[in-house]
Structure 1
Amino acid sequence: MTPSQNLVPGTEFLRDGGYSARRVAEHDWSTHPLGPPAGWPTELKTSLSMMFGSRFAMCLGWGPDLLLFYNDAYLPVLGVKEPTALGRPLAEVWYELWEDVRAMAESAMSGTATWVEDMYLRLERKGVAEDTWWTFTYSPVRQADGKVVAMLAITHETTRRVVTERRLADERARLARIFDQAPAFMAMLRGPEHRFEFANAAYLRLVGRDDLVGKPVAEALPEVVRQGWMPVLDEVLASGRAHVENDARYTAEPEGGTPQTHYLDFVFHPFTDQDGSVGGIVVVGMDNTERTRNEKALRERESELEALNSDLERRVAEQARERSLNWQVTPDMLGVLNRDGILERSNPAWERVLGWTREELALMPIRALLHPDDRESAAAARERLHAGEPLLGFECRMRTRDGGYRTLSWVATPQEGRFYCSARDVTAHRMAVAALAESQAQLRNLFETSFQLQVMCALDGTLLDANETALAMIGARRGEVVGRPFWDTPWFSGTPGMPERIRAGVLRAAAGELVHDELEVDLPGGHRVLELSLRPFHGADGRITGVVQEAIDITQRRTAEEALRQSQKLEAMGQLTGGVAHDFNNLLAPIMAALDLAADPQANPERRARTVAVAQQSAERAAMLVQRLLAFARKQPLQTVEVDVPALLEGIGGLMRSSFDPRIRVEVDADPGTPPAVGDRNQLEMALLNLGVNARDAMSEGGTLTLASRGAEIVDGIASSTLRPGQYAVITVADTGVGMDAATRERAIEPFFSTKGIGKGTGLGLSMAHGLALQLGGCLHIDSAPGEGTMIELWLPAASRP
């Protein structure tokens, strides 16, 4: 409704109430139990006026039947129910969920407020039932005599957040399954005991145990202690530097099993907690036992073949002796081929590997055993041999007697019309290579499908790779950003000052530092908040070879935190309003009594004088309360002059000594070099007296109250969020009293917050001092702990500062 509309007398509470108020004004109440709005109870009108002016979704249930009223923000909650909901009993409007909320409504109507978070309700607001979640409170509304006449509900739908959190939980579970199925072994150790927090299936298979989680390494894997790995873990945790091992020898000792020796490539990599400290170690690696053994055997065989090539005639002559021990026992398949490709001589290794006897091999050309797909490359190799070229490292697949195939690596050389050859079975080695390639492909898939924004850079900041999540955020293809300096890419180039900030972070990470930062960036898709980490990437030799960037989009979380801060501001405003109303009620009572007495000509003059004196005291206290509120709000007029801080403290100290309990020792320790401060002397005296009284009350058994001062400077570039660079005079009020815990410190400067009890303080002393300091361009700082006293610093701009 607009102000220009004419309202029936008694219905002014409907003015400017929006659509819902207009619905109330236009509704036919003639046959309704409440009757026309002009005759409604004051409590109902007041509640509706407050509700119509709120932007929160609110509804009111009036009377024993909870007759429903609501504001504009509540309309989406009603949905299709709205046209017929006004004035009807709440149980009829929300018949489908009444049994779910009945107990809470009855509790509110009995005088007890209720609150529930993320409550599930199956709602019909669009004509069909739907799953929803709600956070709401039901509060009683009382009339003047305290009787509950209505229930006020404030509602907020949390369906989207609940559904999102459940989806994220499912995603985390899916990621956990992926890591558990990864071919690489992984484990997470936390704290100085290196206690297992996680170990995937590959890790459990490696160590031969399945009960590691929750146990320290020394208890879960005693062989790790015996084999000397504990000092390495301790050093990684203490230094924060990763430790890399290649082909490290580790003997697993499974319970009730046989010890197994493994050769491992792994890294002990530290991870940091939110406070930046090293919280534990991530263990990631591959079991390369088979590959290491094969490579060792391959190196031995290659060494033998090099010796064979250096003295081929002698070696062939020795191998020609069929009864030679080497000829008989070597795993290499040695032989002499004629120009038709028939093995005229072959050692027993041929039969051990392929199953064919020496006699059978001598009856057919060796090419008859070739895999069909390898015949073309084998024919080319045969032509080179016939042309007089030696053959080195040629691989092909040969058929075994049982129909399978083995992969052989050949070395052959022509000599006097024959070809002296050696073939090695490299089937297992090739399978290991293929498995490693598959593992690398899986790791690449994890990189591409990660929900984190992941980027790899060279040491000079050149972008080398980025996953799909990071590219999707800027709508770019990999080829459009690879090769460019990381800080000049669309992730940062659209935000002023951000390229320089990122460049500095990359250079720090390239120097070996782990960098964490929170960024607000303007991306092609809009404004986002990112939690960024830059860490050095170490190569196999331990040297830093690149920089890894990982980021998480925390925009939604920051939005939720901002909403929480706004809610807290509203709560503080409510506390302030309640405190002011309470104090002013107490101050107005004697004033009103004096005015009533002054209007009575028959009143006793002596009684009138006493009452007027009390009223004057209340008026003075009210004026002082207003001044304190203005100080807190930084609105009172100030007469700023140059204040000699040491002289001010000497004067205040003398006043305190003369008026405080003798058990309170007041000391003044003013630095003569303290610069004069800019301030209102009277207001500063009042603030210091308030702080002194608080300190006195904190030392009920006596103690020391110290007034001190010093000069300080805030340098450009490291200024705090509340102080500009420049010179300051710092006044300290310290006591040896009971101190404050963290919760009390957080609320100490709130107006009307006091720990002294009812009637012993207004709770405005600290808030006034805080407001005065802020109004003068300074700040107030509190340092306190239970049993250790309290120190309060007033930072005031110096009169001589630039």
Structure 2
Amino acid sequence: MVLALNDKKKTIEYFSSWHVQNKITLICLISILLLSALFVAAAILLPAITTTQIIAFIILIPAIACFGIATCHSSGLELEKARRDYDKMAQRLSETEDSQITLDRFFTISNDLMAVAGKDGRLKKVSKSLVNTLGYSEETLLSTPFFEFIHPDDRVSTRENIKALSLGLRSVDFVNRYRTAEGSYRTLSWSAAADDELGVRFASARDVTDERNFRTRMQQILDSAPFLLIVKDTEGTITNCNDAFAGMVGFTRESLLGKNIRLLKSPFHSAPSEKEQEVLRSQIPVTYDEVLVTNGTEEKYLSTVFPIVDQTGKAISIGKVSVKVLQ
């Protein structure tokens, strides 16, 4: 695929050997005419022409004629080949132009942030949505090394991701931050792949800035709340919790994420309770009283276990909120 075409078509000219062959054919015909004229003149002016000269002339004329005919035939074959090559190139150019038009339209109408980057560290093509999101002109994005737009803290990880692409690996949900024309940063989640034959990298991104900000604000609210919260998948792996829960079991929140609840020495470490199994089956929240041990002291909590379902309605995780009951 050609990523850019010249604004004006360049005329395609074939300089094949058939041009030269046509000239040779013409020279042969002229030579035959000249030799014939010389022979006639010699017969008139020099009646005493020897037999050897007559035989030489008789042999020379057909030889030149055969050479001219062969050259003419070869010229025709070369011309036909040149025409076929020309037609193939014209068709290829037409297909390339069609592909370029399709790509241009796709980049214009797509809501995804798309870009094509070269090995020289510059963007070769950007979608209209990427231009609108970052606020720069298309000319600025294409003429400036794209690393200058990336947040300084994300440049090392971005270079490592590019190296992985060069090894033939695909990148999915790689996140980095890009500076906008206003000076703020947008968080982009990229999926990318490299094409070594073309020497480019194709990338598509989603702007997850608002989503990330919302998650951060929600986590701040959960961490400030006076209750215990834990979310785990059906295998017991912790996918989220708040600071109150992490403090109760003696860990930081970041160190708990990805750990299995069964490995923790806490009131939550045992196998899924009957109430959790009931919630997974019925997909209906269940609230009940229970006694938990915190800091060596038994305390009464009001706990609610609830299911978390995917788009198909299947329960993929289970959450639990426990509120201390004041005596």
TM-score using structure 2 length: 0.45
TM-score in terms of structure 1 length: 0.20
Greater relative contact order, per chain length (Cα 8 Å cut-off, separation 6+):
2
